[in-house]
Structures are given as structure tokens and as C-alpha cells.
């Protein structure tokens, strides 16, 4: 393998990896406040991309993306309010099935609105043949956009959770819900907020990745499974673990293409998921005793 090809694989792996990490962080945010896995997480990414593409037809791209993220956040909040907020002590099985049903419904609605066609946003800078030279290899500037935006998102999120009152309230909610309620935190609002937040970051990721990966109505499912793989690998609930695991999975996938047919690419990441579930369900970076405390 030439060094140029090697670097190409590395960049492809990092690009996808950081996207998986964002999806995984979306899972983590909701998991931390509610203890449920939102199977519709991948659909937020698809929705963000699709809405931005539609809006971009009659407004500047920046405005379209901002609006798309906000609309998806509203959808996320609505989903929580309509389908989850009012349930009394729902079982995990029930919540799993509800979020699965939601992901199907969102996908079908998207199919009826946007059809089966593959769409994409235009490249942020230049077009599909524009390339810049880095370390002796040529990559599209969009790759840098994806990595840059996602990195900024991760940084902002960790600052948000550490230094703002709202973020600390959400963390309190994650640590101990009852205690948080006793301290006067409205835990129900925190759950709605967590849905909005993870819908928002998913939608933004969906917008920046759209020029490279394209957007289709059923694109969310695959992303959700990869994102879940990454969330488990990094240890459910750990955002930094998710970033490391995301990059790792992205690189593994990118290099697997050189040895196995492309059709098996998905099978590889899912096999990794199964192996991790069987061998180390608390994740590569999570602590076993901490995982044992979580409810399942």
C-alpha cells in the first residue's frame, strides 16, 4: 500500500469515524438522562440533511442549515413530549419498541415527502473536484469541514456540560434522578432538553456530511447501528470514549475495504458490535463496576 493510498484511507476513516462519534454522543445524551436508547437517533441525522437540502432551494445554505437544525430540534422535543414524557414507569422493552416504531414512522414519512431519490447539499467550498493537498495526498475540503464542525461540536458539548448551569442540571439528572428532583431540578424538562440536544447535533452532522455521503430517506438505520456500536465500544454514557471508539471504528471500516468486498463493510462493524457485547459489554473504555450499576 502506497503512503498516499494509506493517507486516503486514514482521512476517509476519520471522516466517517467522527460522524459515528456524533451519533454515539447523541445516544449517550439521551441515555444519560433517561436510561433509554433512542433507536430513532439515526433518523435525526437523515432529517437534518433532508430539511436543509429542501430549504437550500430558496435560501442561502447557512440559513438553511441553521433552520434545519432548529426544526429537527423541535421535532426531537415533540417526539419526547408526545410519545415518552407522559408514560408512567415504562419498562425498557416498551421504550425500545416505541423508539423502533418511531424510527420506522419517521423513515416512512420521509419516504413519502422526499421519495427514494438520493440528494445532497452542495459542497460548502468549491465543488466535488476541488481538492487540497495535505501531507502529500489530495482530499476534498469538505472532509475538513466535517472534521472541523464535529470537533467543535464535541468541544462545545463538553464545555456545556461542565460549565453551564443547564448542563450541570442535566448531569445531575443523569447521576441520580431522584436526588436531582429533590434539588428542585425539573427532570422532565431535562429529558426533553436532552432529546432536543441530541436531535440538534445529529441534524448538524447530517448537514455537513451530506455533500460527501449523500442523504437518503433510509440512511438513518445504518448510522444508528454504527453509532450504537461506537457508543457501546466507548462505554455507554462516556462522550470522550465515544469519540475514540468512533475514530477507531471509522479507521477499521476504511481499511477493511482493502481486504474485503464493500458489501461486507456493514457486516464487519456489526460483528465488532456483537463481539464487544459478548466479551466486554461495559465498553473498551468504560469501568465494569460502573456499568453494573446501570439499569437494564
Partner 1 sequence: MKRYRPLAILAVLVVSVQLLTHWTGTPYYLTQLTMAAYYSVVIIGLCLLMGYAGQISLGHAGFFAIGGYMSAMLTTHNLLPYQDQGWVVLLDKIGFLVASEDLYGGALLAFEPWVAALVAVILAMVIAFIIGIPILKLKGHYLAMGTLGFGIIVYRVFLASEIFGEADGISEVPGFTLLPGVTVTGSFGARIGNYYIAWGMLIIAMALVLNLINSRVGRALRAIHGAEDAANAMGIDTARYKLKTFVLSAVLAAVAGVFLTHYNGGIGPSEAGVMKSVRYVSIVAVGGMANLWGAMSMGIILNFLSLRGLFGSYDDAVFGAILIIIMLFAPEGILRLNLLSKLKKILGGNRS
- Please report, as ranges, the residues that interact with partner 1 according to CB under 8 A: 36-37, 83, 87, 90-94, 96-98, 100-105, 107-109, 112, 221, 225, 228, 232, 261, 263-264, 266-267, 270-271, 273-274, 277-278, 281, 295-296
Least distance in angstroms from the C-beta of 294 to partner 1 = 9
The Cα–Cα gap between 262 and 121 comes to 25
Output 88 or 289, the one with its CB closest to partner 1: 88
* Residues across the chain: 296
Are 18 and 246 in contact, with CB atoms under 8 Å apart? yes
List the one residue out of 59, 63, 29 whose CA is nearest residue 44: 29
**What minimum distance in Å lies between the beta carbon of 82 and partner 1?**
9
b (16+ CB within 10 A) / e for 213-242: bebbbebbbebbbbbbbbbbbbbbbbbebb
* Shortest Cβ 217–partner 1 spacing (Å): 11
What are the cell numbers at 224? 444508528
- In degrees, rounded to 5, the angle at the alpha carbon of residue 99 between the alpha carbons of residues 45 and 204 is 15
- Pick the closer one to partner 1 by CB: 142 or 269: 269
Residue 117 beta carbon to partner 1: minimum distance, rounded to whole angstroms = 16
Output 130 or 271, the one with its CB closest to partner 1.
271
The residue among 52 and 174 lying less far from partner 1, judged by its C-beta, is: 174
Q: Which helix (H) or strand (E) holds 29?
A: helix 3-34
Taking the complex as a whole, the smallest distance from the CB of residue 15 to partner 1 amounts, in Å, to 22
Question: Which of 83/160 has CB closer to partner 1?
Answer: 83
Which SS3 state, helix, strand or coil, does residue 137 take? strand
Amino acid at each position: 500500500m502506497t503512503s498516499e493510498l494509506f493517507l486516503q484511507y486514514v482521512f476517509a476513516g476519520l471522516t466517517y469515524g467522527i460522524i459515528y462519534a456524533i451519533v454515539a454522543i447523541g445516544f449517550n445524551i439521551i441515555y444519560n438522562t433517561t436510561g433509554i436508547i433512542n433507536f430513532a437517533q439515526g433518523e435525526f441525522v437523515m432529517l437534518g440533511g433532508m430539511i436543509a437540502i429542501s430549504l437550500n432551494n430558496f435560501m442561502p445554505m447557512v440559513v438553511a442549515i441553521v433552520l434545519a437544525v432548529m426544526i429537527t430540534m423541535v421535532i426531537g422535543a415533540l417526539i419526547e413530549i408526545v410519545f415518552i414524557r407522559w408514560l408512567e414507569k415504562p419498562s425498557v422493552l416498551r421504550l425500545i419498541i416505541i423508539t423502533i416504531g418511531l424510527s420506522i414512522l419517521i423513515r416512512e414519512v420521509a419516504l413519502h415527502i422526499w421519495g427514494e431519490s438520493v440528494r445532497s447539499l452542495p459542497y460548502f467550498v468549491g465543488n466535488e473536484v476541488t481538492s487540497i493537498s495535505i501531507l502529500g495526498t489530495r482530499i476534498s475540503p469538505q472532509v475538513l469541514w466535517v472534521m472541523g464542525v464535529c470537533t467543535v461540536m464535541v468541544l462545545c458539548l463538553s464545555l456545556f456540560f461542565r460549565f453551564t448551569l443547564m448542563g450541570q442540571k442535566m448531569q445531575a439528572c443523569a447521576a441520580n434522578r431522584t436526588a436531582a428532583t429533590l434539588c428542585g431540578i425539573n427532570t422532565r424538562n431535562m429529558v426533553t432538553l436532552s432529546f432536543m440536544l441530541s436531535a440538534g447535533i445529529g441534524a448538524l452532522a447530517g448537514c455537513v456530511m451530506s455533500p460527501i455521503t449523500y442523504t437518503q430517506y433510509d440512511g438513518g438505520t445504518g448510522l444508528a447501528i454504527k453509532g450504537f456500536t461506537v457508543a457501546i465500544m466507548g462505554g455507554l454514557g462516556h462522550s470522550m470514549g465515544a469519540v475514540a471508539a468512533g475514530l477507531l471504528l471509522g479507521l477499521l471500516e476504511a481499511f477493511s475495504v482493502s481486504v474485503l468486498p464493500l458489501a461486507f463493510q456493514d457486516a464487519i462493524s456489526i460483528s465488532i458490535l456483537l463481539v464487544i457485547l459478548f466479551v466486554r459489554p461495559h465498553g473498551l473504555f468504560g469501568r465494569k463496576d460502573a456499568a453494573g450499576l446501570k439499569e437494564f
